[in-house]
Structure 1
Amino acid sequence: MTFSLFNKNRCSITDELFLELTWDDGRGLEEDSELLDIIEGLDHLSNFSQPISKSLPYLTFQQAELLFKELKQAYGRFQLKKVAIAHMEGKTVVTEGEVYASPFLITEDYENLLLPLIQAILTRSEFANYSYQEKREYFENQIYPVYKQSLGLSDSSLPLFPAEGETLIGSQSSGLALAPKARKQPDIGDSVPHKQSTSLKKFYLFLGFLGVLTIVNIVCVFFAFTQLSNQSEKVNFLYQEQKNTQLIISTKNEVDVFSRYFLPSYYSGKKENLVDFLSEGDAKFTQPKEGILQSVILEKLNYDSETQKYTVSYILSVKKGDKSSSVRLTFDVKASDSSKYGFVVETEPKESNYLKN
């Protein structure tokens, strides 16, 4: 992999402020293979718009914090010759007039890169001509906003700029570090993975919500389909009933006339009189009865669309000898183009009492 070690004026970082790193003598990328592996690993795992390997010696605040955290874990103590705030003027990287820390030490108690820079601006002679107010405003109005945006932090995660004359204690880089007033400075390096973990949780929650929404939609579609099927069945049933009713209305008289022709032959007592009325099925075994029809009243006429048969029921007054009786006679009739009357009797007539005893 090729690193842009000497392309100091070629910088593609678009942040208003960023960092320029200068490796300590004898400990650069070419001399330290472990350092190369760390940078390659970060580039592989992180989704930077510009990989560290191609951006060096310039890094965004986020890239720098991730790198410094890895250096802290890998080495325990790591020293850079210089870490400076930089900005672009046209196409040129400029560090003049910006704060820097030299040397820049990363030790076990390293928390974030802002503390060494704050320490430097408060203690180094190069910045002695600036007033306390100018130094404070420089950090709070220029560095803090870019740093916060780069790492996606809130204001509460930024270190407090010390009050004027605040005491200092020994720590971090070769000189002194700030003694916080009332809170421990956040470990910014740890906040970045935490932010990524939070994003993953939100992503998985979104996937879960999407899955539940999909299941609900499927259930709704299935329910709607079931309702539609039921409605379709009801419509088909009603349509068939209407069709049957219309058929009964249109053929009722024809079936009734045929049946009234059949009844006298049935009660004639002569088998030969039934030949033109009976089908070739069970009805052909019908045995005629003897009697004189005195009255014929149609009681019921139903139609079965599946069998295409009419079921008729008549109330008859039949005289046998000197005695008359009322009977109910029921039989099936079916249309037949080949028959003499256009209909045939399909079943043997069933006779039952009409009057209850």
Structure 2
Amino acid sequence: MSWTELLPETGDEPAGLAVTGDAELESAVRVVESAARSWKRLGPPGRDLPAEARRAAAVRLHLSAVRNTGAPDEGPVHVLPGLLDDDVPWSRSDLAWALRTADDYLNYDGASFVLPGCIAVSLSPAELEGFGPALVRVLDEFINERDTPRHIRRQLAELYGVAAGRVYRCLPLDLLPWSCGFGAFARDKFGADLSSRPAGDVLRHAATLTGATPSKTWLRAATTFPERWAVEAVLECFTGWSGHVWFGTDEQLRGLVWMLSLDRSEAATDLLARVAVAASAAEERRRGYPFAPLTAAAAVEAVAVRPGDLPAETLARLSRTVHNRALLSRMAKARRLRTIR
């Protein structure tokens, strides 16, 4: 199903689409287009360009991406967000136009979805009224497209997730996504509590961890949240879930594990151990594929350095039940470290 038919209006061609006749503006647009073609070498253009030029360049890059006539692959994805700031105004009509022109886009580099996503997050809930179904439909279109690089899907998911959450006044849809079984499970359990700003901020920080282990800067930032109930609550909820989670959900849970690891209490140790067991579990017929491999790896590493008998017992138990080689290797290393300590 097309999302154009879900739009509350069709949208007019945005101002700034045609820049011929203005030599200075045309020159600025060419700078941006050149940067998009050679973004690995040149990097994104600076924000010192006039707002009018950045707006026109964004529109041109969007159309080039839609028509597949401009910068290839990640050029527009890399350059477009850097062009747009609060001084580049957008309207409902611009959003409708950008979504409509991106419809039936056939490439998988995600480039045509960037501008409408950036426009959407710049608008207020009142300005976004009626756009919810279309935004969700676009999110569904790319979120599981495996040919689109993961980091691009993550970037787009945040844009559309935040915008759709603003429309429906709920937790951004890319955090504990409703279309992931566990995401729907958690949203049903916590309801409106997840819509609070503190919960959203905590889950957003957890989602920003894209590597196996956090940096000291990331960990320091994790201590600044005045309300952390979502860390324990969501992980506790996960221990009651039995099934695979999406990669993006796995990343978020991994971030929550590292946030919980900052709590040195026995209760936190107990929860980390139970998360390790739940994440490491697998279907009998696919025993080498844990339900949440990223979360399992983080929980094993976090629990291994905790004092007491429970961590050792947990690692010993998992060594008998886990069949994933990478996770077994991580557990063996963790057990050796405990012995050395």
Q: Could you say which TM-score interval applies, normalised by the shorter chain?
A: under 0.3
Higher strand share: 1
Give the alignment's TM-score, normalised by structure 1. 0.25
TM-score by length of 2: 0.26
Larger radius of gyration: 1
